[in-house]
Amino acid sequence: MASWTCGRYTWGGCGSHLRTLYASIDEAMRCTCRSWPGVVMPARGTNTATQQPTQSNNSSQGNGNPQRFCSTELPSNIVIEVDNMNFHLHKSPLMSKSRKLQQLITNQEANNSSASTPEAEEGGKHCHLVLVDFPGGSETFELAAEFCFGAKIELCSSNVAPLRCAGEFLEMTEEHSEENLISKAETFLSQSVLNSVKDSIIALKSCERLRPLAETIGIMQRCIDSIVSEALFMWPVRDSTFTPRRRSGRRKCVVVGEEDSWFDEITLLGSPMFKQLILAMKGSELKPEIIETCLMQYAKKHIPGLSRSNRKALASCSSEAEQKELLELVISNLSSKHSTPVRFLFGLLRTATMLSASEACRDVLKKKIGSQLDEATLDDLLIPSYSYLNETLFDIDCVARILGHFLEEERNVAAIDGRVPTSPALMLVGKLIDCYLSEIASDANLKPKKFNDLAISVPDRARLFHDGLYRAVDVYLKAHPWVSKSDREKICEVLDCQKLTLEACTHAAQNERLPLRAVVRVLFFEQLQLRHAIAGTLVAAEEPARTSVASVDAEGSGAGEGCTHDGGDSNTWQVTVRENQVLRLDMDSMRSRVHQLERECSSMKRAIAKMDKTGLEGGGPWWASLSLGRKFGCKFKTQVCDSHEPTTVVDTREGRPHRRPHRE
């Protein structure tokens, strides 16, 4: 049978076969708490296991709790229960180090000695204490017990805070015993842990299960202050997943080496502890970049779905309520003056929509995204529609509100500077919205009014050319053939035919999906562009003639000055004759040039009429008209794919480029 005191094998019954039984038991498992009749017991010596005063045993008492037994030469005479774990220890070492255990044991012995029953006398020999809400649990109490028995314990950043709280709970002070647990833990905490950011974070993490005692004795606040003070000399580290795209230059981020991994250590903290740390950081003079990096790293670790490129499941995925609370914490602590990566902001916005975060929280995100909309990409704007109230595949209303915040900020900046807002950011946003319209135009549930409203919300000055917008209109009309004629005309009214390139005009003139009124407008401005192109070639041809006239005038004036000294009448007659000759030559050259242009214009009209007739009858390709310019010596740069570059007309006869002015 097992001894109740030490857990080893002891005897019971008549005792007539004790020698045989004693010899069959392993020496390490023989109970020495009581004598074995007829057996010579070995003298007790110093046990070699004094460095490990407790050991595990699978035996259990009547309550079924796991047991821990003392392995020193001292017999066990007290049982201390901590978190359903029974520790069989000796009173003397515990009483010499802990004032609280000394008081509890003394009071229990006094109560048991006052009773005269046999059970009370037996209880006086074996005390039983229950320590409720012991800081750190049974593992910390085991380390504290080893310290009481004189064993050497290894202090580290993860156990120093629990041991400090355990010493406070057990009242292991210097007044009760020298070099006690409180002084040992305080020395290690001050000299080692608080001098390192990573160790301070680990110690702060261990304080989560020590509250409120850790707050009362100030360990949590000391760890937070240490983290903030050390972070003042750190540089932020950017995650490549959310690296922002800057218009001019790149954000400088200095990598300091292994010290940067403390951002990853922060992600191990719980949400309440992380919130307390962030509030302390905001109250200090810490750089906003460091606070933002902490928020990004923590959100990426605990909130799923922030990055579309990272589809791995999170190791520690919290509940939906905890994610929502954390999301609102991160959004409320983002700096309004500091630029945050737009991809990260869009990830927060998608997650806030999925978790049904508060409207105020989502408005803060939309305003911050609107202030940096020129840094966004098309993939960022494609926010899925998570509400059953929206019929479209993507959340178009959200993008419209973000665009409204961007335009409002542009107007405010323009009002301060006193100029018309035609910044490069506005041009980038105009091109981005045109690409977004082309992407969502194929949605069958997209109403014409919503498409038209988003298209006209972009100012006209944000689009240098309307090729991108024409592409979006063409895709929409192709995906919605059932749209009425009035809606088609209204959609096409957003196009400014004067801002279409020649290639886009040619394509639109052959587009059967456009209404007749839109085609007529396109044809009119196409003819206007051809006329401008012909005028450009005429101006290029007149340049050499003007140069020759200027040289002749210079020679004539020089000769006139020389003849003035000889005779005024003869010189005047010679100059007049020469000017008449020059004018006659100029008139002849102009007349021949006009006749040549008339012939070219007639030939162009016949070619256009023939091409239109061929296209209508035979269904020829629309790009056949592109050879028209090359036929008459004009080459036009293809700009259908890029609607934000000026059209350049090149005269192949003279080799001089002329830029066609565009209307604002």
pLDDT at position 22 is 63
The 8 Å CB, 24+ separation contacts for 642-646 are 642/467, 643/431, 643/434, 643/463, 643/464, 643/465, 643/466, 643/467, 643/468, 643/469, 643/501, 643/504, 644/427, 644/431, 644/463, 644/464, 644/465, 644/468, 645/464, 645/465, 646/464
DSSP 606-654: HHHHHHHHHHHHH---GGGGGHHHHHTTEEE---SS-TTS--EEEETTT
In angstroms, rounded to a whole number, what is the distance separating the alpha carbons of residues 67 and 8? 12
- For tokens 């981020």, the residue is 253
Q: What is the mean pLDDT of the chain?
A: 75
The pLDDT tens digits for 594-609 are 777 778 888 888 888 8
CA distance 431 to 66: 70
218: left (phi over 0), alpha (psi -120 to 50) or beta: left
CA-to-CA distance for 516 and 615, rounded, in angstroms? 17
Task: Label residue 65 by pLDDT band (50, 70, 90).
Answer: low
Q: Angle formed by the axes of helices 288-302 and 271-283, to 10°?
A: 170
Supply the pLDDT for residue 213. Answer: 92
SS3 sequence of 384-436? ECCCCCCCCCECHHHHHHHHHHHHHHHHHHHHHHCCCCCCHHHHHHHHHHHHH
Across the range 361-387, mean pLDDT stands at 91
Q: What is the pLDDT of residue 170?
A: 93
Token pair recorded at residue 208? 């989560």
3-class SS of residue 656 = strand
pLDDT-based confidence at 78, cuts 50/70/90?
confident
One-letter identity of residue 122:
E
Residue with tokens 């220890």: 89
Residue 87's DSSP bridge partners are 68, 80
Domains and CATH numbers, the chain: 1-43 (no CATH), 44-153 (3.30.710)
**From 83-92, 258-267, 360-369, 620-629, the region with the lowest mean pLDDT:** 620-629
Tens digits of residue pLDDT in 126-174: 688 899 999 999 899 999 998 988 888 899 999 999 999 999 999 999 9
For residue 444, the Cα-to-chain-centroid distance in whole angstroms is: 32
Q: Which residues contact 558 (CB under 8 A, 6 or more apart)?
A: none
Is pLDDT at 626 greater than 60 in this prediction?
no
DSSP 312: P
Q: What residues form DSSP beta bridges with 651?
A: 634, 656
Please report, as a single letter, which amino acid is at residue 331: I
pLDDT-derived band at 389, boundaries 50, 70, 90 = confident
Looking at per-residue confidence, does 479 or 658 come out higher? 479
Distance (Å) of CA 532 to CA 168, 305, 591: 92, 54, 20
State the CB neighbour count (10 A cutoff) for residue 26: 8
Tens of pLDDT, residues 458-510: 998 888 889 999 999 999 999 999 999 999 999 999 988 888 887 888 888 88
Tokens of 251: 């954000």
Q: What is the pLDDT of residues 498-517, one digit of tens each?
A: 888 878 888 888 888 888 88
Are the C-beta atoms of residues 98 and 89 closer than 8 Å to each other? no
Residue 333: band (very low, low, confident or very high) from pLDDT cuts 50, 70, 90: confident
Q: Which tens digit of pLDDT belongs to each residue from 13-60?
A: 555 555 566 666 666 666 766 556 545 444 443 333 333 445 544 444
